[in-house]
Amino acid sequence: MSELRYLAPHTLDEAIAAFAAAGSAARILAGGTDLLVQMRSGAVKPGLIVDIKKIAEMTAIEQTADGGFRIGAAVPGAVLSEHPRFGRAWPGVLEAVNLIGSTQVQGRASAGGNLCNGSPAGDSVPALVAAGAMVTLQGPNGRREIKVEDIPAGPGRTNLLPGEILVSFTLPPRPKGASDAYLRMIPRTEMDIAVVGVGVNLTIKDGVCTAARVGLGAVAPTVLLVEAAAKALIGSKLDDAALKAAASACSAACRPIDDKRGTIVYRTKVAGVLLKRTVAIAAARAREN
């Protein structure tokens, strides 16, 4: 029978030292809503668990000097939704984070865990990709910042270096006329995993879309940034032709598999449908800002 050690350090340095020293036997515990389930099913048997919830930076939400937000990697969805300003600036990111699990799970589950779990179907990831979020990583060799879309490496895998911990997300300031939205397709109404997920972030000025980013989940080994879809939207008045082109770009970007959650044909079609619906929501929100 293998032994399991549990640490809950108060500083990032302590956490990194222990995590790096234990190598591949170690796992980071934020909300634990993936890790504990994986352990219970026997899928992982860690020798060390490093609980990061006692590290202040990991659970803080701050508004940055330029008007953006920095969100600790272990901030639970429920805490994020109670923040007085975050949801107004980033309603799409918030609704995506709040889709991770049930109400009970929301008390624990974090965007950081959702990203590091490496699932192509993680709900918060397409919205954060669309948002243009950056992540701060810290490891034995110091800090670095990379784009959210560069974290996933494949199902269950990330590009984090050995000993690195995801510290926080940074979201840029919001110009006037900007907003975002996230929609996912699930066969049920809740308690399910995305068959397709679409995050759209856009800016509208004088009725014209001046900036857009589209994140697409559950249709490829990693969450995708669909630049062709964004291009189709930018410069348009989000008319039917632009939406159709963006939808086609999303469908074209899909590299899905047939599995128990959906077929290739279904996922490819639905990616386009959801793109149109998500743009409509994001645009309606943007016009009010």
CB of 244 to another protein, least distance (A): 13
Burial class from Cβ neighbours inside 10 Å (0-12, 13-18, 19+) for residue 264 reads middle
Considering only CA atoms, which of 120, 83, 118 is closest in space to residue 98?
Answer: 83
Number of residues counted as binding another protein (CB under 8 A): 20
Residue 43 lies near another protein (rule: CB under 8 A): no
Helix (H) or strand (E) holding 158: strand 157-158
CB of 270 to another protein, least distance (A): 6
CB of 191 to another protein, least distance (A): 5
Residue type, 28: I
Helix (H) or strand (E) holding 168: strand 165-171
Sign of the CA dihedral with 129 first, then 80, 78, and 287 last: negative
Sign of the CA dihedral with 150 first, then 231, 197, and 132 last: positive
Select the residue interacting with another protein from 161, 208, 241, 265 (CB under 8 A).
265
Backbone angles phi, psi at 178, to 5 degrees: -110, 140
Give the nearer residue to another protein in terms of CB position, either 57 or 192.
Answer: 192
Give the nearer residue to another protein in terms of CB position, either 190 or 206.
Answer: 190
Binding marks (x or -) toward another protein, 205..244, rule CB under 8 A?
----------------------------------------
| Spatial contact of 64 and 170, defined as CB atoms under 8 Å apart | yes
Binding marks (x or -) toward another protein, 181..210, rule CB under 8 A?
----x-xxxxxxx-x---------------
CB of 116 to another protein, least distance (A): 20
Residue 263 lies near another protein (rule: CB under 8 A): yes
**Residues in contact with another protein by the rule CB under 8 A:** 1, 41, 185, 187-193, 195, 260-263, 265-266, 269-270, 273
